[in-house]
């Protein structure tokens, strides 16, 4: 009888501890609550010119950075109170699920598989997958020309890499951790092409003018969303409101022209926010 009472007491303590932990976890993953404290941690890419780039002086620039700052402002957080955290493609869901970031703005395509783990606001931009090659290359014009032993680089855990693996299984896909590593591999001849979204590739082509070029028509549609914790409906609604406001007041177009515009990538029509 004494053992039974002890077991019941232990079970009750564990249940209370579990409940407290669960509540604490919910609080940790609420971006709105972080914003109320006056600070936000936002995931971005650190190596994508024109989109998410950490500059030599430690500052950050790019369209995604401007979107992240605008959204933070609508949540009541000023730019100096944002901590930007590098969010490689393969780590984005984990960073959100572990509460290491409040939200992620990092060329993050909205997919059904990802929506099983995280939620998305947006889209705030629509891009399309394409190819980056050396300016002297005339053999590669699109995904159907990647046969004959062509070596194609993309990033582990990315939508473009998965698309190639699923639809072009004969292509020699060489996954790297970052697109900047892929670009260096292309520049030194280790691979023949790099694939990801056209807007990302345009930034790298602009970074190395006369050396690299984007070829072919986009062969997918990539809807960039702002990733956040699963079930954080309050914040998702606020971020959707912020995206719509950014488009309506002209800030979206200005951010694009000030960042991506220098690459020559044409200004597209703004997207329609999907309030699923």
Query: What tens digit of pLDDT does each residue of 53-80 get?
Result: 999 999 999 999 999 999 999 999 999 9
pLDDT in tens, 229-258: 999 999 999 999 999 999 999 999 999 999
Q: How far is CA 155 from the centre of its chain?
A: 12
CATH assignment, 129-215? 3.40.190.10
pLDDT score of 203: 94
For CATH 3.40.190.10, list the domain ranges present in the chain: 26-126+223-263, 129-215
pLDDT, position 148: 82
Residue 16 pLDDT greater than 50, yes or no? no
Q: Which fold has domain 26-126+223-263?
A: D-Maltodextrin-Binding Protein; domain 2 (3.40.190)
pLDDT over 70 at 13, yes or no: no
Pair 250, 153: CB distance under 8 Å: no
pLDDT reported for residue 44? 98
Note the pLDDT tens digit of each residue in 17-58. 333 333 344 444 589 999 999 999 999 999 999 999 999 999
Q: Which residues contact 192 (CB under 8 A, 6 or more apart)?
A: 133, 137, 140, 146, 150, 151, 152, 186
How many Å apart are CA 112 and CA 197, to the nearest integer?
18
Q: How far lies 275's CA from each of 114, 131, 136, 225, 226, in Å?
A: 16, 31, 45, 12, 13
Handedness of CA 127, 108, 261, 248 (dihedral sign): positive
pLDDT value, residue 262: 86
The position carrying tokens 């995206």 is: 243
Give the per-residue pLDDT at 122: 97
Tell me the backbone φ, ψ of residue 18, rounded to 5 degrees: -65, -45
**How does the average pLDDT of the chain come out, rounded?**
89
In this prediction, residue 9 carries a pLDDT of: 40
The pLDDT of residue 170 is 86
- 3 state SS of 246: helix
Cα–Cα distances (Å) from 211 to 51, 132, 186, in that order, read 20, 10, 10
Residue 8 pLDDT greater than 60, yes or no:
no
Q: Can you give the pLDDT at residue 147? A: 82
Residues 6+ positions from 37 with CB-CB distance below 8 Å: none
Q: Which residues pair with 212 in a beta bridge?
A: 134
For a pLDDT cut of 90, what percent of the chain falls above it?
Answer: 81
At residue 29, the pLDDT reads: 54
């Amino acid at each position: 009888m004494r053992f039974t009472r002890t077991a019941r007491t232990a079970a009750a303590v564990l249940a209370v501890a579990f409940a407290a932990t669960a509540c604490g976890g919910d609080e940790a993953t609420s971006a709105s609550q972080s914003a109320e404290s006056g600070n936000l941690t936002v995931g971005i890419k650190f190596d994508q010119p024109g989109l998410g780039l950490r500059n030599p002086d430690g500052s950050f620039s790019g369209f995604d950075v401007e979107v992240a700052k605008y959204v933070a402002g609508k949540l009541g957080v000023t730019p100096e109170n944002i901590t930007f955290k590098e969010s490689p493609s393969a780590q984005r869901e984990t960073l959100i699920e572990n509460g290491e970031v409040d939200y992620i703005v990092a060329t993050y395509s909205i997919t059904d598989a990802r929506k099983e783990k995280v939620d998305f606001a947006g889209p705030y931009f629509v891009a399309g997958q394409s190819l980056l090659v050396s300016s002297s290359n005339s053999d590669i014009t699109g995904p159907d020309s990647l046969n004959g032993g062509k070596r194609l680089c993309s990033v582990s855990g990315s939508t473009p890499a998965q698309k190639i693996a699923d639809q072009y299984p004969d292509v020699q896909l060489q996954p790297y951790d970052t697109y900047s590593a892929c670009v260096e591999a292309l520049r030194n001849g280790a691979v023949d092409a790099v694939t990801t979204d056209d807007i990302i590739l345009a930034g790298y082509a602009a970074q190395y003018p006369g050396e690299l070029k984007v070829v072919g028509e986009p062969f997918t549609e990539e809807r960039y969303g702002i990733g956040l914790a699963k079930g954080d409906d309050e914040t998702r609604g606020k971020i959707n409101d912020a995206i719509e406001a950014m488009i309506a007041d002209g800030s979206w177009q200005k951010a694009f022209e000030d960042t991506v515009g220098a690459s020559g990538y044409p200004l597209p029509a703004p997207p329609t926010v999907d309030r699923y």
